[in-house]
């Protein structure tokens, strides 16, 4: 170690002096020191270098330093940069990989110096080498620890387990444990074990573990060979034979939690170093942070569970309140419907109208509260469909025209004459416009309300839909313009007393607009009215796609038209309704329509009646009933076997919070109805489900050929009248005439293609015809087109395709519908010939 090599005579004296200086300065140094001559041949090494590289001094003497490099390219590069006469002096460390005598390599940090005499001539080179193997091992483990701690795909528990596994690898030990210590009980909280070891939840007396010493020392405790130490008699050694151990107390959020320790059953070849102990302290802080995060995670999960439970409770409460409030409102509106069919004096009729308006106002308030609750609970559902927004706007304006005219307020519509076709939720957009227009009419004492609509394309398939409502009311101060969009807030506390309202309309409208990818803003000057502007980003729609009927949701804002007696054939109906008023209402109204009705008050009675001796054409079950609810009752009937199991059953509910039509399992039901009852819809639905049952009973082959919808009217005059009100009589006549010709062309093409077996093209024509018929208010033709489309598309097609009778019925219906529409477009003079067939 440190022995000088034989030198040439001319240089022996100088080298002797260098050797003495080298030994004096570096022989006891912990870092490796290597002295080389100007040719980079090794002249002298210290003991640390000999130990680090694994060579004896005489084995290195005279060899070029290249023997120490792991990579020859590094040797050459360092020669160019540092070890040559032109290299600039530098005392900065650099990292390099070296090779030991046994071939193993290690990373290092080296400081290289050039030694010169007084003339500047190079005497040799000195390299100081520090082994970075331990530091690199720690850095690699820290890198892996960071990767584990930032892996958000795993929860805190999984991250702690992964960290323990890294610790086992780092120390080369098979067992890692995070313990939880309370009193004298040692509980395994997390464990990583290469061999079978203790499991999570295992408990031991603290005195039986090495951790007793760890807690007593309050610092890192380590031993590498317990059998040769003073703790040979320790209970842990006698019981588990753990030879190697390193552990540290764990402090979590400043409080003692337990311990972190790694151990093994074999003695450790090298004693634990100071860096091992320092790393253990760092490791414990990392684990403690994860345990703290685990606690926080559990607290968050518990808080989330409590919040979900509270939200569920709120939803159940709202559903119950919805049912309990809408049920009596259904009874009131239904009785009003019946009352209006009696002979009323003019004064009495006026009172009834006022009762209806008040009840509908109460229903609107209930719907607003429930809508706001659904929005706040993030339970609002949207149905985005192709919509003609021009027709929708004119439809809403028509709803308010009469009320505005009575106040002396005119409503002006500024909108393109052509249809603006976009994809949106027509029901929610209508709700926004209804709120804005209702406020405008309410706050305008006289003068004019202006509704403006335009569409600005922003890309090939999207556009900005802009809708504004301007009134001539008192205006809104600037400091109140944001406040009015808050729930239950109004700009002036006296507004509610003077005009009524709850302050919910604008709050709901803004939330709906934002749900539709837009917003609402207001501009106003006190005394000069206010303008509310809606801007929505909407996809554009091709003009040949069927639109959502503009009047579909408008019917809810008008007094429902009652079906006339004899509109459908008499049916034998079973009704299950626990509310006595609604039961009486259903009995009276259905009886007025010619049906025979049996009323029961709960699901058990409904099942008994349906499976008894009496035969029923259809049943109507309220979903919420005592003893057994409507869904359970329907399932019992479906399980009763034929023919009882085929009984058509309609679900009836007042619960609009949970959106029962989508959320509850409707498998046992044929249709779904909501309260307040739309009697026209109820009548049509009953006719449909009964017809479908009769068709099914004819057998698969005949059922496929038996058309549905023949009981529907040829034209829905109410829908056509609504179009006339919304769009103007002249525009409707022109539109209807053009549409009638389109129906004739599509009907002829579809009939020819179906007869010739060209099913795909026939299906395309029928799809277009169905959409056009629905928009025109031709329900019978739309139903037949849908049925024939399913036959030609193969869903219900028998082996021979649609038969001649089915095609003839369809063609006749097309002719009759076209003729009736042409009569509307150009009414025939007296004595002139009418086209088509009677409806």
DSSP letters, 117-178, are -TT--EEEEEEEEEE-HHHHHHHHHHHHHHHHHT-TTS-HHHHHHHHHHHHHHHHT-SEEEE
Give the tens place of pLDDT for each residue, 301-360.
788 778 777 766 766 666 666 666 767 777 777 778 778 777 888 888 878 877 877 777
pLDDT for 702 beyond 50? no
Contacts of 413 (CB under 8 A, 6+ apart): 393, 394, 397, 451, 452, 453
Residue 338 to residue 479: CA distance in whole angstroms? 49
Q: Would you place residue 559 in the very low, low, confident or very high pLDDT band (cuts 50, 70, 90)?
A: very low
Is this structure's pTM higher than 0.85? no
DSSP 46-76: -HHHHHHH---HHHHTTSBGGGGBS-HHHHH
pLDDT for 620 beyond 90? yes
pLDDT for 610 beyond 80? yes
Strands 105-116 and 94-99: antiparallel
**Placement of tokens 């034979």 in the chain:** 241
Residue 419 to residue 411: CA distance in whole angstroms? 20
**Placement of tokens 């205006």 in the chain:** 475
Residue 128 to residue 70: CA distance in whole angstroms? 17
Give the tens place of pLDDT for each residue, 400-415.
777 788 888 889 989 8
Residue 133 to residue 144: CA distance in whole angstroms? 17
Whole-number pLDDT of residue 153: 79
Q: Is pLDDT larger for residue 126 or for residue 547?
A: 126
Q: Do domains 381-536 and 572-678 have the same CATH topology?
A: no
Q: Is pLDDT larger for residue 94 or for residue 619?
A: 619
Q: Would you place residue 516 in the very low, low, confident or very high pLDDT band (cuts 50, 70, 90)?
A: confident
Cβ atoms of residues 45 and 33 within 8 Å: yes
DSSP annotation of 4 reads P
Q: Would you place residue 124 in the very low, low, confident or very high pLDDT band (cuts 50, 70, 90)?
A: confident
pLDDT for 381 beyond 80? no
Token readout for 606 is 């409904």
Q: How many CB atoms lie within 10 A of CB 827?
A: 10
Whole-number pLDDT of residue 129: 92
Give the tens place of pLDDT for each residue, 722-757.
666 555 556 566 677 777 888 888 888 888 888 888
Give the tens place of pLDDT for each residue, 662-676.
444 446 888 888 777
Distance of CA 794 to the CA centre of its chain: 35
Q: Would you place residue 660 in the very low, low, confident or very high pLDDT band (cuts 50, 70, 90)?
A: very low
pLDDT for 110 beyond 60? yes
Q: Would you place residue 795 in the very low, low, confident or very high pLDDT band (cuts 50, 70, 90)?
A: very low
Q: In percent, how much of the chain has pLDDT > 70?
A: 78
The vertex-52 CA angle with 47 and 53, nearest 5°, equals 105
Q: Is 350 exposed, middle or buried (0-12, 13-18, 19+ CB in 10 A)?
A: exposed
Q: Would you place residue 553 in the very low, low, confident or very high pLDDT band (cuts 50, 70, 90)?
A: very low
pLDDT for 835 beyond 80? no
Q: Is pLDDT larger for residue 796 or for residue 155?
A: 155
Task: Could you please state the CATH topology (level 3) that the domain comprising 133-378 is classified under.
Answer: Beta-Lactamase (3.30.450)
Token readout for 741 is 């010709």
pLDDT for 607 beyond 90? yes
Q: Per CATH, is 717-825 categorized as 1.20.58? A: no
Whole-number pLDDT of residue 733: 67
Residue 549 to residue 277: CA distance in whole angstroms? 77
For domain 12-131, the CATH superfamily is PAS domain (3.30.450.20)
Whole-number pLDDT of residue 385: 81
CATH numeric code, 572-678: 3.40.50.2300
Q: Would you place residue 647 in the very low, low, confident or very high pLDDT band (cuts 50, 70, 90)?
A: very high
pLDDT for 396 beyond 50? yes
DSSP annotation of 674 reads E
Q: Would you place residue 42 in the very low, low, confident or very high pLDDT band (cuts 50, 70, 90)?
A: very high
The whole-number average pLDDT for the span 84-112 is: 85
DSSP annotation of 228 reads G
pLDDT for 74 beyond 50? yes
The whole-number average pLDDT for the span 3-31 is: 60
Token readout for 137 is 């091992």
The whole-number average pLDDT for the span 205-219 is: 88
Whole-number pLDDT of residue 260: 93
Q: Where are the domains of the chain?
A: 12-131, 133-378, 381-536, 572-678, 717-825
Provide the terminal-to-terminal Cα distance of the chain, rounded to the nearest Å: 119
Whole-number pLDDT of residue 572: 92
Cβ atoms of residues 270 and 224 within 8 Å: yes
Whole-number pLDDT of residue 68: 94
pLDDT for 112 beyond 50? yes
Residue 689 to residue 728: CA distance in whole angstroms? 36
Whole-number pLDDT of residue 101: 92
**Placement of tokens 């057994």 in the chain:** 628
Q: Is 517 helix (H, G, I), strand (E, B) or coil?
A: coil
Return the CATH class of domain 381-536: alpha beta
**What average pLDDT does the chain have?**
78
Q: In percent, how much of the chain has pLDDT > 90?
A: 14
DSSP annotation of 345 reads -
Token readout for 77 is 């590069």
The whole-number average pLDDT for the span 26-33 is: 84
Q: Is pLDDT larger for residue 344 or for residue 551?
A: 344
The whole-number average pLDDT for the span 58-68 is: 91
Number of DSSP helices (H) and strands (E) in the chain, helices first: 25, 23
């Amino acid at each position: 170690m440190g022995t000088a090599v034989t030198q040439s005579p001319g240089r022996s004296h100088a080298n002797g002096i260098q050797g003495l200086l080298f030994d004096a300065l570096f022989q006891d140094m912990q870092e490796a020191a290597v002295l080389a001559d100007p040719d980079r041949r090794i002249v002298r090494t210290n003991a640390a270098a000999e130990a680090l590289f694994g060579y004896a001094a005489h084995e290195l003497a005279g060899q070029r330093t290249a023997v120490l490099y792991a990579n020859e390219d590094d040797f050459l590069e360092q020669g160019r940069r540092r070890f040559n006469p032109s290299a600039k002096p530098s005392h900065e460390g650099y990292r390099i990989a070296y090779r030991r005598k046994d071939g193993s390599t290690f990373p290092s940090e080296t400081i290289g110096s050039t030694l010169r005499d007084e003339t500047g001539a190079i005497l040799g080179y000195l390299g100081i080498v520090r082994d970075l193997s331990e530091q690199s091992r720690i850095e690699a483990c820290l890198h892996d620890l960071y990767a584990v701690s930032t892996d958000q795909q795993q929860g805190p528990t999984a991250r702690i387990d992964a960290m323990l596994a890294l610790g086992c690898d780092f120390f080369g030990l098979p067992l890692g444990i995070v313990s939880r210590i309370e009193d004298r009980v040692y509980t395994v909280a997390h464990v990583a074990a290469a061999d079978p070891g203790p499991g999570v939840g295992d408990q031991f007396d603290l005195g039986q573990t090495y951790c007793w010493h760890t807690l007593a020392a309050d610092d890192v405790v380590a031993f590498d060979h317990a059998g040769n130490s003073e703790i040979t008699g320790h209970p842990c050694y006698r019981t588990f034979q753990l030879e190697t151990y390193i552990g540290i107390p764990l402090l979590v959020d400043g409080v003692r939690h337990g311990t972190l320790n790694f151990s093994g059953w074999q003695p450790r070849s090298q004693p634990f170093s100071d860096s091992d102990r320092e790393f253990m302290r760092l490791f414990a802080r990392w684990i403690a942070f994860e345990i703290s995060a685990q606690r926080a995670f559990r607290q968050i999960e518990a808080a989330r569970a409590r919040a979900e439970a509270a939200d569920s409770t709120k939803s159940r409460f709202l559903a119950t309140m919805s049912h309990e409030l809408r049920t009596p409102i259904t009874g009131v509106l239904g009785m009003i419907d019946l009352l209006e069919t009696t002979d009323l004096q003019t004064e009495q009729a006026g009172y009834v109208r006022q009762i209806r308006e008040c009840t509908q106002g109460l229903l609107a308030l209930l719907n607003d509260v429930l809508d706001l609750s659904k929005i706040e609970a993030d339970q609002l559902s949207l149905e985005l469909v192709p919509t003609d927004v021009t027709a929708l706007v004119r439809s809403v304006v028509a709803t308010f025209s009469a009320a505005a005219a009575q106040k002396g307020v005119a409503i002006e519509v500024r909108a393109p004459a052509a249809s603006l076709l976009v994809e949106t939720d027509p029901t929610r957009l209508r709700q926004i416009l209804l709120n804005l227009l209702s406020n405008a009419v309410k706050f305008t004492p006289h003068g004019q309300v202006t509704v403006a609509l335009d569409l600005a394309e922003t890309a090939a398939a999207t556009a900005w839909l802009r809708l504004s409502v301007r009134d001539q009311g008192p205006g809104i101060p600037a400091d109140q313009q944001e406040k009015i969009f808050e729930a239950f807030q109004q700009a002036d506390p006296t507004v509610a007393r003077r005009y009524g309202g709850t302050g919910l309309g604008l709050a709901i409208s803004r939330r709906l607009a934002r749900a539709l990818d837009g917003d609402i803003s207001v501009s106003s000057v006190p005394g000069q009215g206010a303008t509310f502007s809606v801007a929505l980003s909407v996809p554009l729609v091709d003009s040949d796609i069927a639109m959502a009927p503009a009047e579909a949701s408008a019917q809810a804002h008008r007094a429902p038209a009652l079906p006339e007696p004899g509109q459908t054939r008499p049916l034998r109906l079973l009704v299950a309704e626990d509310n006595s008023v609604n039961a009486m209402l259903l009995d009276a109204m259905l009886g007025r329509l010619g049906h025979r009705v049996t009323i029961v008050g709960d699901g058990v009675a409904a099942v008994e009646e349906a499976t008894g001796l009496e035969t029923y054409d259809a049943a109507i079950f309220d979903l919420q009933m005592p003893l057994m609810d409507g869904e359970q009752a329907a399932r019992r009937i479906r399980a009763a076997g034929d023919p009882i199991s085929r009984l058509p059953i309609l679900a009836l509910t007042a619960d609009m919070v949970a959106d029962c039509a989508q959320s509850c399992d409707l498998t046992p039901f044929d249709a779904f109805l909501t309260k307040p009852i739309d009697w026209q819809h109820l009548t049509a639905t009953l006719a449909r489900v009964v017809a479908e049952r009769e068709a099914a009973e004819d057998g698969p082959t005949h059922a496929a050929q038996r058309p549905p919808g023949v009981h529907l009217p040829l034209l829905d005059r109410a829908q056509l009248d609504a179009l006339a009100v919304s769009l103007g009589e002249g525009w409707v006549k022109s539109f209807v005439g053009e549409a009638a010709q389109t129906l004739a062309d599509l009907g002829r093409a579809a009939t020819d293609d179906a007869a010739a077996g060209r099913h795909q093209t026939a299906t395309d024509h029928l799809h277009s015809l169905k959409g056009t018929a629905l928009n025109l208010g031709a329900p019978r033709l739309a139903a037949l087109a849908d049925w024939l489309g399913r036959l030609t598309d193969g869903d219900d097609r028998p082996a021979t395709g649609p038969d001649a009778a089915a095609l003839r019925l369809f063609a006749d219906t097309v002719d009759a519908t076209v003729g009736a529409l042409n009569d509307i477009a150009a009414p025939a003079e007296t004595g002139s010939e009418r086209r088509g067939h009677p409806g």
